[in-house]
Structure 1
Amino acid sequence: MSEETQNVSQLLQVVKALLNAEKLNQANYASRLAENFAPISLFHPGETDISRVLAFLLNPKERHEQGELFLDAFCQLLRKLPVLSSQENGKSFIDIPKFGDSSFIAVEYTIPNGRMDILIRNADSAICIENKPWANDGQDQLQTYAQWLETQRDIKNWTIVYLSDHEPTEWSIDTNSIFRSKIIQVDFLQLSKALETAAKFSLAPSVRYFVELFVRFLRQNVAGEAPMTDKILLKTLKDPQNLAAAMAIYEAFPELRKEAWKTFCQTLSKQCEEINNFPLKLEYSEPDEINSGFAGFWFKPANNQLNWCINFEAQKINLTQICWGISGYNNCEVIEPVLYQELKNEATKAFGNERHSKYWPWWKWGEENPVSAKSFPIELNSVKWLEMMLSGKDSLLTDMVWDKVNTLLNSMDKKYL
């Protein structure tokens, strides 16, 4: 055993002991501390919900009654961040003007050929916020917004804020576009810190507590920051003699998650092949895609003329916020209305009433702690499920998948296959 491997092994033993001690501590004090209490996540907020909360906080006239507190903090953050074109021409910053209590703030503001997630206006200035917690860029999206803002005669000073943990792609705005000098990328950790700092000056405890909950949601469910509440464990990991081993574990975990996903999907694919004349074929996201939202696997009818599938999809990064049901193929194809209703009826007959949306005739969220094949986890990013995925064998997790597929197939009219 190499020295590095031995150090990793020893550190894992220490961490295991500390985690066991933490479990005992939580059993004694959880009812008083509730450190894992995250009520916002219970409502499964989507992109539009995040935009509405952010617009609520930024609006000085809203019922939080804190005036320009959060709007000022947001503008101060923008003044510290360089524009997109800075990479080629050195750092360049935008002089963000003052936005006061007379500012106009709208969510889902409609313009020709598009809809801005948030628009902030005063007499002659504007800030457009494009909120991308998980979704992919739309074609020419930022270019369209920029062109519209540029042609408004009453807007003399405008900025686009690309709220995302990654830069916009060429699909949204060309790398040579002159408008890149008017676009600032803000990631969700930067936004979280700005809101959290501002909340400390809130005179209303209820507002301060709400912002803290919202910030925690953004950190953990959008930015992917893992909670670390155990100070003893953190101190142990930061110890110089453990640091190299801790880094080795930290760097290996994302690759381990990818390997687990690849093995699990290959296991399902093999099980598909073992069933003679199986009417569905399995497709799945590549391992690298699980670091972004909307990774999943789906069973598509062998008849390629049909554009629906049985879909298991993570709505957020690292295989979290998982839902399952029937959707259009690739989750972006609209199902013809008659077929949409028929598929909805088939799924309702098999599983009961649940949710539906534009691309999904029937879907439901996974569960927090499923224990039977009738359920499915809302996230796969835990030791329990990763172990099953890595095994490459039949498990409770594969049983959960086949329970859904077989139940639907057994009740479904063959014409849909």
Structure 2
Amino acid sequence: MGDLFYNAAILRATYHREPGFNLFTVLRNNSDEVYLHSRFLAYLLNPKGSHGCGIRLLNAFLEVMEVEGFDLTSATVQAEYKSIDIFVQNSQGQAIVIENKIYARDAYEQLHRYNQLVKREGYQKTWNLYLTLDGSEPAGHSKKDLDVSVISYETDIIRWLERCIPLVAREAGLREAIFQYIELLQKLTSTDQGGKYMEQLKKKLKEGDNLLLVADINRAYKEVQIELQAELWERMRTYQAQTYPEMPEPENTADIDAIRNYYTKSKNNRHFGLYYPLGLVPGYAYIELDHYLYFGYHTYGDDREGGTEALLKLSNQLLKSEAEEGDFFWRYPTQNLNYKNPKMEDLNVLRDTVKQQAIAQELIDGVHVLWLNAFNSAAGPSSVVGCE
């Protein structure tokens, strides 16, 4: 096994090259959903765009995403149409709603509300596409009974962009922009290993028992992920008990079985965590995992009515939420890691006990502020503590 790791390290040092200059990362945060990804994708899709390709880029997109029956004759494309990330429509009453998620999570009933919006505007035939880095499913409350097609940057968007390159071959600036955007997506999805490097690595894996060793390593890697995440939840519970003993016992669904299911089952294994009841205010201050950890407010179960007004009022008084207007407060921690498909920098943080402790403390400190505000609100008039 030592030889395998040594040879892999040599191959990486020889063939792997980090991407060079990239205009997108200079101008914008590489995870900026609205001002980078949605706008650039909408520009390419727009038949009236200055790229001069007409409907060809949009047609290639529909083919890759397997959207059949959409009439391109009068198609128009808008970014951020009434909060819809990318909206494609035509005069025949057809519409495509593309919800673009890099790191954000779904607002309550988000996809369902968008569908109701376009139906009210008279569109009889709609397609709903849910775009994430790795093809993650939307939250159940978001889509309800809506038929949603899940697509990913990692495979679908990159495949479409590769089809676009020959279509824009004579436009050097646009061609280079698409190349650089593909490089950005490969970095975001951790698929930026060079072709020569991967070819040599695959060749090495076919030698001797190397493939069997890698299978063992993959199993061990998954076990380490389970252990590291379990340690993080334990740090949260310990820190809360020691620092904020006045908080009630949480409803704890982040047990070892839930964590193991998260890494070994393909669906219905997200949304577990620590849920602290708010007493007189019906609901929770909670920490939850949906590939990324976050903390926030939520009411009991599916019935949001009991505590909705009180929690929305508290949410509106707090600062720096990731929530859309009209939804409950929630926020990611400063170290925003992908626990399902961690990148190299995510793994470096996870294995660092000091940084792991900092994440645990930030989440518990945040959820304590939310719990305390609800407690003070129920007890009587009180100034709301800032959640900065």
TM-score of Structure 1 vs Structure 2, range by shorter chain = 0.5 to 0.7
Q: Distance in 2 between matches of 1:338 and 1:166?
A: 31
Match 1:103 to one of 75, 78, 81: 75
Give the deviation of 1:409 after TM superposition.
7.5
Aligned residue type for 1:204: E
Task: Write the distance in 2 (CA, Å) between the matches of 1:209 and 1:284.
Answer: 48
1:227 aligns with 2:192: yes
Q: How many angstroms apart in 1 are the aligned matches of 2:151 and 2:277?
A: 41
**Distance (Å, rounded) in 2 between the aligned partners of 1:76 and 1:237:** 35
Q: Are residue 384 (structure 1) and residue 362 (structure 2) matched? A: no
1:192 aligns with 2:158: yes
Distance in 2 (CA, whole Å) between partners of 1:362 and 1:138 is 12
TM-score normalised by L of structure 1: 0.59
| Corresponding residue for residue 19 of structure 1 | 9
Structure 1 position 237 matched with structure 2 position 205: yes
* 1:91-148 superposed Cα distances (whole Å, 9 cap, x missing partner): xxx4444x14x522234545xxxx7543323342624134264645965956983896
Amino acid in structure 2 at the alignment position of 1:69 = R
Distance 1:409 1:37, change over 3 A: same
Cα–Cα, structure 1 residues 69 and 16, in superposed 2: closer, same or farther, change >3 Å? farther
**Does residue 192 of structure 2 align to residue 205 of structure 1?**
no
Q: Report matched runs for 1:8-407 at 5 Å.
A: 10=1, 13-19=3-9, 22=12, 34=20, 39=25, 42-46=29-33, 50-78=37-65, 81=66, 94-97=68-71, 99-100=72-73, 102-109=74-81, 116-124=84-92, 126-131=94-99, 133=101, 135-136=105-106, 139=109, 141=111, 145=115, 152=122, 158-164=125-131, 165=135, 172=143, 174=145, 186-188=151-153, 189-202=155-168, 203-218=170-185, 221=188, 224=189, 226-229=191-194, 230-231=197-198, 232-239=200-207, 241-250=209-218, 252-274=220-242, 277-279=245-247, 286-287=258-259, 288=261, 300=276, 305=281, 309=285, 317=291, 319=292, 327-329=296-298, 339-340=314-315, 343-344=318-319, 358=325, 366=334, 376=335, 378=337, 381=342, 382-388=346-352, 395-399=354-358, 401-402=360-361
Q: For the residues of structure 1 that align with 2:105 and 2:151, how far apart are their CA atoms?
A: 15
1:252 Cα deviation from its structure 2 partner:
4.9
Consecutive unaligned residues of structure 2, counting only runs of 5 or more, are 377-383
Q: Percent identity between the aligned chains?
A: 13
Deviates more, 1:144-153 or 1:186-195: 144-153
Offset, 1:257 = 2.0
3-state DSSP of counterpart to 1:195: helix
Amino acid at match of 1:46: E
Pick closer, same or farther for the CA change 1:257–1:236 going to 2, 3 Å: same
Q: Deviations over 1:324-343 (max 9, x none)?
A: 7x74348x978757645765
Query: By how many angstroms is 1:64 displaced?
Result: 3.4
Aligned residues: 342
TM-score by length of 2: 0.63
Amino acid at match of 2:88: I
Give, in angstroms, the shift of residue 198 of structure 1. Answer: 0.8
- Residue identity opposite 1:196 in structure 2: E
SS at match of 2:78: strand
Tell me the alpha carbon deviations over residues 265-307 of structure 1, each in whole angstroms, 9 at most, x when there is no partner.
Answer: 0233134334573447666754345889986866858756386
Partner AA of 2:53 in structure 1: Q
RMSD of aligned alpha carbons: 5.1
